[in-house]
Structure 1
Amino acid sequence: MELKPEQLASQLESGPLKPAYLIAGPETLRVLEAADALRVAARAQGFTEREVYEQEGNREPDWAAMEASFSAPSLFASRRLIELRLPTTKPGKEGGRLIEEFCAAPPADVTLLVTGGEWSKQHGGKWSEAIGRIGTVAIAWQVKPHELSGWIDQRLRSRGVRADRDAVQVLVERIDGNLLAAAQEVDKLALLVDGTPLDAARMQDLVADAARFDVFRVLDAALNGQPAQVSRMLAGMRAEGEAVPAVLGMVVRELQLLAKLARAQTRGGNALMGEFKALRVWDSKQPAYKRALQRHAEGHWDRFLAAVGRVDRMAKGREAGDAWVALERVLLAVAEPRAARLLLAG
C-alpha cells in the first residue's frame, strides 16, 4: 500500500502496526514527521525495544547483525521496532535480499521501518515491492509551488491558527519553499496568536524579519546544498540593514560543530552517532549535517572557520574587503564543493 506521509498518521490510529514500512523522499520534514508518528504509535502499542541500523557515508549498515536480530527472540518478550536508515535509500544487493527475506516471513514481534532521503524510479525494486505487499510505502515528494499555500494553510489549522488567503500568501513568500522554515514559523505563530483570524497585515507583523530566524534559514540552505537560496537570503538580509557581526556568532557555532562531527566521522564506527548524542543534535537536524559532511573533507571545516575569522575582521574594519561578499563566499563553499575549491584555493 502506498500513502502520502501525512496519511500515514490516520492509518496508524486505525489499527495495529503492519510488519514493515518504507518512508522516503526528498522532503526531509515530511519524512521525519511520518517516521516520528510511527515511533509514537509503536510505543503506544507496546513496542518497548528499538534498534537502529544506519548507512553512514560509504559504510554500509551491519547487515549480519541486523539479520541476526530479525531471528533473535526479544529480550523481555516485548515487541521491537527495527529501523534501517538509508540516506541514499539504496540498500544494495545484500540489504535488498535481507529486506525481501524479512518480508517473506516477518517475525510476529518485529516491525521494520526503512527511511531514506532520496527517491525515484531507480530507487525502488523487489525489496520495496516486498515492503508494499505486507506493509506501507510513504513517499515524501517535494511540495510543488502551487501546492504550498494549501500545505501551509493545513499546517496552520492543525496548530489552531486561522489565516485568510492573503495572510497565507505572506507566509508562502517568506519561507521560499523551505518546509522546515515554514514549520518553525507556524509553531511560532501558534504561540503568538490570540485566536483571532490573521489577515495579511498582522501576518506580516508577526513574521517580520529578525536576524536570528534568517540566520537559521541561511545555514539550513548551506547545509542542504542550496547555493542559490544562500545568495538570495543573504542579499535580502543585507538590503534590510542587518549587520554582519550580528549573524557571525551562529555561523561560527555551526562550523565549529561541523568540525567536531567531521573528526568523529573520520574515526569511523559509531563515533559520529556518539558525537551527535554528545552535542545534543536533534534527529531532525542530523540528515542536513550528514549531507554537508559528505561534501567536504575533514580539514575543510577548520579552513572555513579561518575564512569566517577574516569576515569578522572585515566587518570590524581591521581588514580590507566587503564582509557581506566574504560571508557569502564561505556559505556558498559549504553548500557547493566547486565554490569550496575556489575559496580554499584563494
Structure 2
Amino acid sequence: MELKPEQLVAQLGLDQSSPPPLRPAYLIAGPEPLRVLEAADAVRAAARRQGISEREVFEAEGNQREPDWNALEASFRAPSLFASRRLVELRLPSGKPGKEGAEVISGFCADPPPDVVLLVSAGEWSKQHGGKWSEAIGRIGQVAIAWAVKPHELSDWIERRLRTRGLKADHAAVQSLADRVEGNLLAAAQEIDKLALLSDGQVLDVERMQALVADAARFDVFRVVDAAMNGQGAQVSRMLAGLRAEGEAVPALLGMVVLELQRTATLARVQARGGNLAAEFKAQRIWDSKQPMYRRALQRHVAPRWDAFVAQAGRVDRIAKGRMRVGEEPGDAWLALERLLLAVAEPRAARLLSAARSG
C-alpha cells in the first residue's frame, strides 16, 4: 500500500519508547524534496535507534549514469564489518533504476538479507516510474510517495505541521500563512519552526500570526531564481511583475541571479566531463534538499547553454546601468531579465534571448 511520507514517519514510531522493527526495504520518492528528505531522515533515525550504526550509500558518480549495480549486489551479500546490521541507501534522482538496477532490487526483495535494511530514495516520480522492482519493495517493506501538495491541500498540511511543533492556530491564521508562502513547503517549514520559538503557547490568530511571521510570500529574488531552476515559467513572470511593482531595481536582483547561474554552470561542466557531481555539490555547500532542483535544471540544458546564460546576465546588467557595448542596442532591463529566467525555466524559451539580443 502506498503511504504518504507523513504516514510513514508515524509508522516508524519515533515518539514511542518501543518503536516497531524496521522492515527490510523502503522506497521514498516524489517531486516534493522536503517531504522526501524528512521521510528518509525518519528512516535513518529509526535505524540509529535500533542499533544500526553502519551505513552505505550508492549513487551515480563520475562518468557513470547509474550506480554501480555490481557493487550494490555484492554489498547485499557481504557480511557487516562493524555492526550486526546495516542501512544501505540507494539514491535514484531520476526514479528509474533501468533493467539491471531493477533486477538487483527485485533480487534483494526476493531474499532480503537479515542484516540489511534497504532505503531507496528518488527525486522524481510518476505513475510511469513504478514497476516490478517497486512492487517488490512494497511487498516486503513500505512505499511512500511525496506528491506535490496541491493549493487546496496546503492549509491542512500547514495545520498538521503546526500541531507537530506544539502550536495551535485558528483557520484564518493558517490560511494567512498559506497565502504568504505561496506553496513553498520549505518556506512554510522555516516559518513554523520560527513560530515554535517565538510563540507564547496561545492559539495564534491572524494578527498574532502576521506579527510573528516574516513575509515569506514576498516576491524576492531567491524565490524567483528557484522558480526558474524548477522550470516554473509562469511563476517567474508573476514574481518579477511583483518585484517591479514593489519598486525593486534590476541591478539589486542580479547578484543572486548571477551567483546561481555561475554555480549551475560549474555543476554542468563537472557533469559534462564525467566528474563527481556529488562531490561538487558538497564543495559548493548545496544541501541535500536543494540538490534535486539543480539536477532538474541540469537535465534541461547542456553545459554551453549555462555559460551563455551567465553571459546574458551580464548583458542584462549593462542594460540596467546604461553601459551598453559597441553594437549593443539598449532595451528594457526587466524584459531582458524575464527572458533570461524564462529561458532557464523552459528550453523552448531560449529563442527569446535571441530576440532580446537583437532588440
| TM-score (normalizing by structure 2) | 0.88
1:211-250 to structure 2, matched below 5 A, reads: 214-250=220-256
* Contact 1:18-1:135 within 8 A present in 2 as well: yes
CA distance in 1, matches of 2:232, 2:257: 16
Question: How much identity, in percent, do the aligned residues show?
Answer: 75
Match of 2:315 among 295, 310, 315: 310
Q: Deviations over 1:152-206 (max 9, x none)?
A: 1122232344322122212222222222232233234334444443332343454
Q: Are 1:182 and 2:204 an aligned pair?
A: no
Q: Which residue of 2 aligns with 1:3?
A: 3
Match of 2:146 among 117, 121, 140: 140
Q: Which residue of 2 aligns with 1:118?
A: 124
* Contact 2:180-2:216 within 8 A present in 1 as well: no
Q: Which residue of 2 aligns with 1:169?
A: 175
CA distance in 1, matches of 2:317, 2:193: 33
Q: Deviations over 1:107-150 (max 9, x none)?
A: 11111111122333322222111111111111112222221111
| TM-score (normalizing by structure 1) | 0.91
Match of 1:26 among 17, 31, 54: 31
Q: Which residue of 1 aligns with 2:286?
A: 281
Deviation (angstroms), 1:208: 5.1
Letter in 1 for 2:345: A
Number of aligned pairs?
A: 345
* Contact 1:5-1:30 within 8 A present in 2 as well: yes
CA distance in 1, matches of 2:71, 2:162: 43
CA distance in 1, matches of 2:49, 2:78: 23
* Contact 1:211-1:247 within 8 A present in 2 as well: no
Q: Which residue of 1 aligns with 2:265?
A: 259
Root-mean-square deviation over aligned CA pairs? 2.3
CA distance in 1, matches of 2:118, 2:3: 17
Deviation (angstroms), 1:222: 1.2
**Partner SS, residue 84 of structure 1:** strand
Letter in 1 for 2:68: D
**Partner SS, residue 311 of structure 2:** helix
CA distance in 2, matches of 1:74, 1:312: 56
CA distance in 2, matches of 1:32, 1:153: 20
Q: Which residue of 1 aligns with 2:274?
A: 268
Q: Which residue of 1 aligns with 2:16?
A: none
Q: Are 1:50 and 2:60 an aligned pair?
A: no
CA distance in 1, matches of 2:74, 2:219: 46
CA distance in 2, matches of 1:212, 1:276: 28
**Partner SS, residue 118 of structure 1:** coil
Runs of at least 5 residues in structure 1 that lack an aligned partner in the other structure: none
Q: Are 1:94 and 2:100 an aligned pair?
A: yes
**Partner SS, residue 121 of structure 2:** strand
Q: Are 1:329 and 2:339 an aligned pair?
A: yes
Letter in 2 for 1:129: E
**Partner SS, residue 44 of structure 2:** helix
**Partner SS, residue 64 of structure 1:** helix
Q: Which residue of 1 aligns with 2:20?
A: 15
**Partner SS, residue 122 of structure 1:** coil
CA distance in 2, matches of 1:301, 1:70: 39
Q: Are 1:35 and 2:45 an aligned pair?
A: no
Deviation (angstroms), 1:213: 7.5
CA distance in 2, matches of 1:212, 1:250: 16
Q: Which residue of 1 aligns with 2:81?
A: 75
* Contact 1:218-1:229 within 8 A present in 2 as well: yes
CA distance in 1, matches of 2:331, 2:211: 35
Q: 1:187 to 1:311 in 2, by over 3 A?
A: farther
